[in-house]
Amino acid sequence: MKKWWHDKVAYQIYPKSFCDSNGDGIGDLRGIISKLDYLKKLGVDIIWLSPIYCSPMVDQGYDISDYYNIDSQFGTMEDMDELLREAKARNMYILMDLVVNHCSDKHEWFKKALEDPEGEYADYFYFREGKGNKPPCNWRSYFGGSVWEKVPNTNKYYLHVFAKEQPDLNWENPKLKNEIYKMINWWLEKGLAGFRIDAIINIKKDLRFQDFPADREDGLCSIDRMLESAEGVLDMLKELKEETFEKFGAFTVGEVFNEKEGELYKFIGKDGYFSTMFDFEMEMLGKSEKGWYDNRTFTPNELRTSIFDSQIKTADVGFKANIIENHDEPRGVSNYIPKEDLNDKSKKMLAAISLMLRGIPFIYQGQELGMTNTKINSVEEFDDIATIDQYNVAIKEGCSKEEALEIVNNYSRDNARTPFQWDDIENAGFTTGTPWIKVNKNYKEINAASQVENEDSVFNFYKKLINLRKSEEFKDAVVYGTFESVLENYDNLFAFYREGSSKKLMLLANYQKEEQTIELPKLYSKVLLNNCDEVKHEKDKIILQGYQVIILVV
């Protein structure tokens, strides 16, 4: 059955870095409101806001101290209401980030829990006795170190799978669950279209709190071992959906990394817990459990296999949400295109591959301009908590300071968090004050003002891809059509069909700098999109230029 969101295009805003309206160096809601027309022009329908709730910002808002209020650095609830109204007036939908695996240690629940570690609120969290003078078990948190932190003046510890300022909420406690449901419904009643749902697989713990074999010298084990052994998250997700989202027909996109084999349909199938979930297959490629220092590079062929396999796995189940980057990743163009080949042509190729896949496109702010990774010269200049941990891991594993710095430059989440590049004036037009994080030096070459005007820009290429997806003629193929890969015998070639009930399209992308001659299995009638000036032919063969992408009607 067709759903209202199937043919939409979504866009992620990282509010702190998007647009600052009051000159304090921090992006805000009024800044977002002022840019809605820009997003509309691009063709965006659904906007996901990374967290704007009250937060001490230890993990940039993913540590929430009050779910019912807007942090003053982003504005007020009146601004939020205005954003909802202004979005609605433009037929746009707003999603907030739902961060309910954990809250902030400054949330009143946690403060009360610390005040009385035997009382009612301690049971909103996981407070457990230590083993002798050691924590209850040896799990490592995502940001390094033990998941356990001492509850002052007791032999108890509390659990935090992320930073110690992000205590995990106890989803086994019905009182806590009801508080969460109430809060979600409150926001949905206000007019939100739905949520992006943070770290949701983590809400179910393996309550045995047992050790697993240590996998680093710190004597700890990856938290993934716990996730593999925890049973029962599906029941929790079912109840969550029934108590909240379902009642409102809300759109939800899950951040799900570790679903078990064969369970995809439970998440995004016909009666799935979520509308969709992110496809992280390409983000996971080359990543090592040991840390960023151990990540490996990958070839275009490997990238093709990971993307295409995921398309095939999802085909009969539902729709995944396709991304090439987000606020937790380096910039897509820097991650997937070799540095020496990075230019508008290769950026457009990556855009076309991603937007022509079956699924819901989620564009991350600045992706539509081809914004790139930044360069940071000393570890002290990084803001991101994960980056600092990964730098230390690299040093511990024997990297030199220079090597460690290069590694974190490649993978840091701060790459995605530099201010949006609006124009070529000071601070890229993001703020009239001092930006909270340094602007990427390349803002004079890469910015929205010049690209919106330039027909050949990356921005306008995205716009064309979005228009194609929405066009009456080709929507059936691009949104609902089947996916079929072809020509896999060619190296560094991404080729696939998207076939709807009346139209069949083919995408051909030459993922290398050398040209490549292709024998097409079918004749084509029309070129719909091309990132080069022409399509070269040699008899009935096509010669693709380096990084050329074309979309054909076949």
Which residues, including other chains, have CB under 8 Å from residue 216's CB and lie 6 or more apart?
140, 290
According to DSSP, residue 51 is labeled P
Shortest Cβ 209–ligand NOJ spacing (Å): 21
C-alpha distances out from residue 143 to 185, 331, 387, Å: 31, 21, 9
| Window 69 to 98, contacts with ligand NOJ (CB under 6 A) | none
Only one residue has tokens 């019905």, namely 174
Q: In the complex with ligand NOJ, which residue's Cβ is closer, 292 or 497?
A: 292
- The reply on whether position 328 binds ligand NOJ by CB under 6 A is yes
Q: In the complex with ligand NOJ, which residue's Cβ is closer, 79 or 414?
A: 414
Three-state DSSP string of 129-196: ECECCECCCCEECCCCCECEEECCCCCEEEECCCCCCCCEECCCCHHHHHHHHHHHHHHHHHCCCEEE
- The reply on whether position 105 binds ligand NOJ by CB under 6 A is no
Shortest Cβ 198–ligand NOJ spacing (Å): 5
Instruction: Note if 255 is an active site residue.
Output: yes
498: enclosing H helix or E strand: strand 493-499
Shortest Cβ 99–ligand NOJ spacing (Å): 5
Q: In the complex with ligand NOJ, which residue's Cβ is closer, 223 or 342?
A: 223
According to DSSP, residue 219 is labeled S
Shortest Cβ 436–ligand NOJ spacing (Å): 16
CB-CB neighbours of 24 under 10 Å: 15
Which is the catalytic residue, given 255, 325, 389, 499? 255
- The reply on whether position 198 binds ligand NOJ by CB under 6 A is yes
Q: In the complex with ligand NOJ, which residue's Cβ is closer, 328 or 476?
A: 328
Shortest Cβ 552–ligand NOJ spacing (Å): 37
Q: How many helices (H) and strands (E) does the chain have?
A: 19, 21
Shortest Cβ 183–ligand NOJ spacing (Å): 16
Site string for ligand NOJ, 281-300 (x = CB under 6 A): --------------------
Partner residues linked to 535 by β-bridges: none
Q: In the complex with ligand NOJ, which residue's Cβ is closer, 60 or 374?
A: 60
| Window 208 to 227, contacts with ligand NOJ (CB under 6 A) | none
C-alpha distances out from residue 388 to 160, 221, 297, 381, 385, Å: 18, 19, 22, 10, 5
Using DSSP, state whether 237 is helix, strand or coil: helix
Site string for ligand NOJ, 308-327 (x = CB under 6 A): -------------------x
Shortest Cβ 301–ligand NOJ spacing (Å): 29
13: enclosing H helix or E strand: strand 10-13
Taking CB under 6 A as the criterion, the residue among 19, 99, 437, 550 binding ligand NOJ is 99
Taking CB under 6 A as the criterion, the residue among 20, 28, 45, 59 binding ligand NOJ is 59
- CA gap 58, 149 in Å, rounded: 16
Q: In the complex with ligand NOJ, which residue's Cβ is closer, 198 or 279?
A: 198
# of chain residues touching ligand NOJ (CB under 6 A): 9
Q: In the complex with ligand NOJ, which residue's Cβ is closer, 346 or 387?
A: 387
| Best CA proximity match to 293, nearest among 210, 406, 374, 205 | 406
Q: Count CA atoms closer than 13 A to 457's CA, side-chain side.
A: 21
Q: In the complex with ligand NOJ, which residue's Cβ is closer, 278 or 490?
A: 278
| Window 241 to 260, contacts with ligand NOJ (CB under 6 A) | 255
Which is the catalytic residue, given 45, 198, 329, 368? 198
Instruction: Note if 198 is an active site residue.
Output: yes
Shortest Cβ 413–ligand NOJ spacing (Å): 7
Do 484 and 507 meet the contact criterion of CB atoms below 8 Å apart? Answer: no
Do 193 and 226 meet the contact criterion of CB atoms below 8 Å apart? Answer: no
- CA gap 402, 115 in Å, rounded: 45
Which residue number is nearest to ligand NOJ in terms of Cβ?
62
Taking CB under 6 A as the criterion, the residue among 199, 264, 321, 479 binding ligand NOJ is 199
Shortest Cβ 394–ligand NOJ spacing (Å): 19
Write the burial class of residue 189 (CB in 10 Å: 0-12 exposed, 13-18 middle, 19+ buried).
exposed
Q: In the complex with ligand NOJ, which residue's Cβ is closer, 156 or 204?
A: 204
- CA gap 42, 452 in Å, rounded: 9
Which residues form the interface with ligand NOJ (CB under 6 A)? 59, 62, 99, 162, 198-199, 255, 327-328
Positions annotated as catalytic residues are 198, 255
